Structures are given as C-alpha cells and as structure tokens.
Amino acid sequence: MELLLIFMLLFMILAGIVALWTDELLSAVIAVGAVGIGTSVAFLLLGAPDLAITQIVVEVVALVLLIKVTIGVGVRTTSGTPSPKRLRLAAAVSVLLLLVMVRSFTGLPEFGSPVMERVDDAPSIVYLEEGLERTGSANQVMSVLLDFRAYDTLGEATVIFTAVFGALVLLRKKGKKDREDADGGEDEE
Amino acid sequence: MNNRSLIVSRVSRWVAPLIFVFGIYVALYGHLSPGGGFPGGVILSSAFILTLLARGREATLKRLPFGVAKKLDAVGALLFLCIALVGLAVTGVFFANFIQQRLPGEPLRLFSGGTIMPANIAIGLKVAASLFLVMFALSALRISTDEKDEPIRTLEDK
Amino acid sequence: MVYVLCAMLLCVGIFGLISQKNVIKIIISISIMENAVNLFLVVIGYRRGGIAPIITERIYEGVQFAEKAVDPLPQAMVLTSIVIGLGVMALMVTMALRIYHVHGTYDITEILKSRKKAEQ
C-alpha cells in the first residue's frame, strides 16, 4: 500500500522531469497529464474517491485546454534552451527549499497517523461522528464541504467566477491596441 | 472546418448524452456516493466540450446557446447564495441546513441530507456553465500568425 | 518518505518555474506544483488502513466508522482547490494566447527583447 504510493510518487516525479526536459510542447503537455493521472491514482490509494473522480475529469479538461494553446496555434517546440546561469539558480533555489521542507517535516506526525488521532477534540472527529445525524449526508466529504464549511465553498464559487470572468474579458473582441485606436473603452461584455 | 472525421462525429453523437446523464447522476448522488457538484459540473461541461471538439460550434450552440450558458452560470451562483440566505432567514444561521433540521430525511436515501442536494445542483450548474463558457470562447478565438494587423476573430463576429 | 517525495515533486515544479523561458512550460510547472500540494494535504489526513469517509449500508450496520475513516477535512478543502486550479489554468491559458497574439511567440526573453526595442 505504502509501496504503491511511493511508486506512484516516483512515477509522477519522473513525468514532471520529462515535462520540463523535453523540447516538444506536445510531449510536455502529455507528461503533465501523466502527473495528473498519477495524482488521481494516489488519491484513490489514500481513500479519497471523490478527489480521484474530480482530479481525473479536471485533468482531461486541462489537457484539452493545453493542447488548444499549443497545437491549436501551431507552436510545436520550444525555442532555445535556458541559460546555464538560470539553471544553476533554479537548482540552488529548489534544493534549498527541499532541505527546508525536509527539515520542517520532523514536526509533522508520522505517515498514517493523522492529527485527529493525537488531538482529542479535533474538528475532524466531530465531523466523522456527528456528520450523518446532523447533516443527513452519507458522504462525509460533502457534509464538510456543503454544510459544516459551506462558507469556504461560497468563496470558492466566487474565485471560479472571477477566473472565468477574467478569461472572458481577455477573450473580448478588441485587443488592447485596437481599443486604444478606437474610442476610450466602454465595450463591456 | 469541414474536415472532421465522420466516425468521430457519429460516435460523439452517441456518447455525449451518456456523459451528460452520468454528470447529472454524479452531481445528484453527491451526498451518498463519491462525487458531488464539482466533478458533476466538470463532467457535464465535458459532454459539451466533446460536442464542441467533434462536431463544431454550430452543433453545440444548437444544444446550449451562449446566452443560456451565461445565465446558467449566474443562476448557479445565485441559487447557492439563496440556499445560504434562506438558512439565515429560517434558523438565523448563515448556511444552516434548515431542511435537515425541520424534516430530516431517512439516511442513505436520495432525499436525505437537506440542503446538500440543492447546493450540489447549484454548484454543478455553476461549474459546468463556467467551463463551457471558457472553452467556447477559446474555440471561437482564431489567431492568424502571418498577418498580425488583422484583428483576431472572437465571439462577437462569428 | 512519502512526505519527502511530495516535497521533491513540488521542487520539480519550482525548478521549472524558475528555469523555463516558455510560457506554456511555466503553466505546466504551476500545474505540477498544484498537484504536489494537493497530494501532500491528502497524505497528511491519511490513516493507516483507513477507509474512505463515506457511510454505506454495510458500515452503517456495524458502527466504528469514526475510528476507521480517513480525515474528511483536507479532502473537502482539496476538492475545492482542484476545481479552482482548473479555473486558474483556464485564465492562464487565455493569458498565454493573448501574449501569443501580441508578440507572436511564447518565449519570455524574446518578448522582453522586442519590448526593449520598442522602447528605444
């Protein structure tokens, strides 16, 4: 079980490195799709089927989006490789960050024993024990998402609305240049 | 764009309704099985994205006009907010699960969970409509790399 | 071990974010980082031999659910995070298309060069 998870994680790291290494943009997009599907399988192993379903569907749509922006406009390869100076800087920053993170992991509980096992009055225990009678929902993730913590979900809906609205505004008929040539800019959607 | 494969467009005509029904199922049974509004909404939108990719924009617009999708987006968000406000009005707590408190349903049946099912429907509508809007706007965008002076084609001048 | 691997995945994303010059590659790096963070949050809530936090008929009969299920709280938060990630990716993709429309390339250094030329 844990071995399978480690295997999935190694697969994802490998796919991520391939996605950054290759010059072909299509291969990079497919490799990042492999990372997403690895995440989905890992969620399934970790007892989170809701997340696995969501991740796999989201990954498919994201893949379509990314292919649209690469093959759709006819760009197939990256031009030129990053300079060695840039590579060294990136390697230094990421290795430093890795060391800091590994150092800070000593304060976390062991893998397989969540915080709610240590703390007696953790909110998760209340959600698990009283979720069914207080919300009537058999799926405790949904009872947390839409009942106990629905306020977060409202904020999340706002974020999606803002992101989509921003995308639609960017895809308006007139680009910036054309708008400056024409009148000031009262062309709201 | 008439060079689409006949097989793909035929098969997508059969598969898209099935995906659509599956999305509705995932959204409706979110409180009983894995799923819920978020994946349900993405699956619903992916049914339309399949139609868009396989059969073009006219066929998609016949099924879901752009204006209707915009309105569904707003309706989903407002429905979610309305559920919260009704909870505030009935019990005095924002996002209170007023249906479950007043008339609790039998657990592990479809009509249980109070406001969770309507909230799932609202979220599903919202996510599906937003993703469809973005994908449709992207599909309408054509960029000519050769002549940059020509303005790009977007939604309005189709 | 699992934590360290999640951190390594995050660092792969950060490495790409700093070193790459192509806008699409940068979007890809951000997507990898997103996956790593989501996975790490779910890993923290995992309980050894735990079951999914969904009550079915069989579990409903013989209780003990709260002692077995994994933590639902990080899962609920990550569920919203995944969908937000998709929305943000749609926004980034449209931004990249805009960049391509204005400059005719995805390469950041070339864009900077052309901008400097335009200023002079």
B1-27 residue pLDDT tens: 456 788 888 898 899 999 999 999 998
Q: What is the pLDDT of residue C8?
A: 92
Average pLDDT over residues B96-120: 77
In angstroms, the CA B125 to CA A41 distance is: 27
SS3 A136: coil
Q: Which residues contact A78 (CB under 8 A, 6 or more apart)?
A: A23, A25, C21, C22, C24, C25, C106, C107
User: Closest residue of A to C78, CA-based?
Assistant: A51
Q: What is the pLDDT of residue B64?
A: 85
CA B8 from centre of chain: 23
Q: What angle do CA C41, C44, C47 make, to 5 degrees?
A: 135
Mean pLDDT of C72-84: 89
Cα maximum dimension of chain A:
66
Cα–Cα distance for residue pair A8/A30, rounded to 1 Å: 17
Residues of C in contact with B137 (CB under 8 A): 94
Q: Looking at chain A, which residue has its C-alpha nearest residue C50?
A: A47
Do the Cβ atoms of A9 and C6 come within 8 Å? yes
- Report CB contact under 8 Å: B123, A153: yes
Provide the pLDDT for residue A184: 44
Considering only CB atoms, C83 lies closest to which of B33, B38, B107, namely B38
Flag whether residue B82 sits within 8 Å of chain A, measured between CB atoms: no
Selecting from A147, A150, A161 the residue whose C-beta is nearest the C-beta of B130 gives A161
- Residue with the bigger pLDDT between B105 and A30: it is A30
* Average pLDDT value over all residues in chain C: 85
Structure tokens that stand for A173 in this block = 């008929």
Task: Please state, in angstroms and rounded to a whole number, the distance separating the CA atoms of residues C81 and C95.
Answer: 21
**CB contact burial C27-41 (16+ within 10 A = b; e otherwise):** bbbbbbbbbbbbbbb
Q: Which residue has the tokens 């996002």?
A: B95
B32 vs C66, higher pLDDT: B32
Mean pLDDT by 10 residues, chain A (189 residues): 88 92 88 92 90 91 88 75 84 92 85 77 80 78 84 87 86 57 45
The domain locations on chain A are 1-78
ipTM of the predicted assembly exceeds 0.90? no
Q: Are the beta carbons of A85 and C13 closer than 8 angstroms?
A: no
Q: Amino acid identity, residue C8?
A: M
Give me the pLDDT at residue B155, please.
53
Retrieve residue B38's tokens. Answer: 């978020």
pLDDT bracket for residue C97 (50, 70, 90): confident
Distance from CA of B140 to the nearest CA of C (A): 12
Residue C16, Cβ neighbours under 10 Å: how many? 27
Does the beta-carbon distance from C18 to A75 stay under 8 Å?
no
φ, ψ of residue B111 in degrees (nearest 5): -95, 70
* Structural domains in chain C, sorted by start: 2-119 (1.10.287.3510)
pLDDT of C103 > 90? The answer is no
pLDDT category of residue C60 using cuts at 50, 70 and 90: low
Calculate helix-pair angle for A49-70, C23-44, nearest 10 degrees: 180
Closest-CA residue of A relative to B47 is: A61
Pairwise CA distance, residues B79 & A135, whole Å: 19
**CA within 13 Å, CB half, A97:** 17
User: Which of the residue ranges B86-90, B101-105, B141-145 would you say has the lowest mean pLDDT?
Assistant: B141-145
Q: Do A54 and B39 touch (CB under 8 A)?
A: yes
Kindly indicate the confidence band of residue B151, based on its pLDDT and cuts at 50, 70 and 90. very low
Burial code (b: 16+ CB inside 10 Å, e: under 16) for A49-68 equals bbbbbbbbbbbbbbbbbbbb
What separation in angstroms does the CA of A109 have from each of C44, C77, C113? Answer: 8, 20, 50
pLDDT digits (tens, 9 = 90+) for C12-48: 999 999 888 888 899 999 999 999 999 999 988 888 8
> What was the pLDDT predicted at B136?
86
Residue C59, pLDDT score: 64
User: What's the CA gap between C66 and A5, in Å, rounded?
Assistant: 24
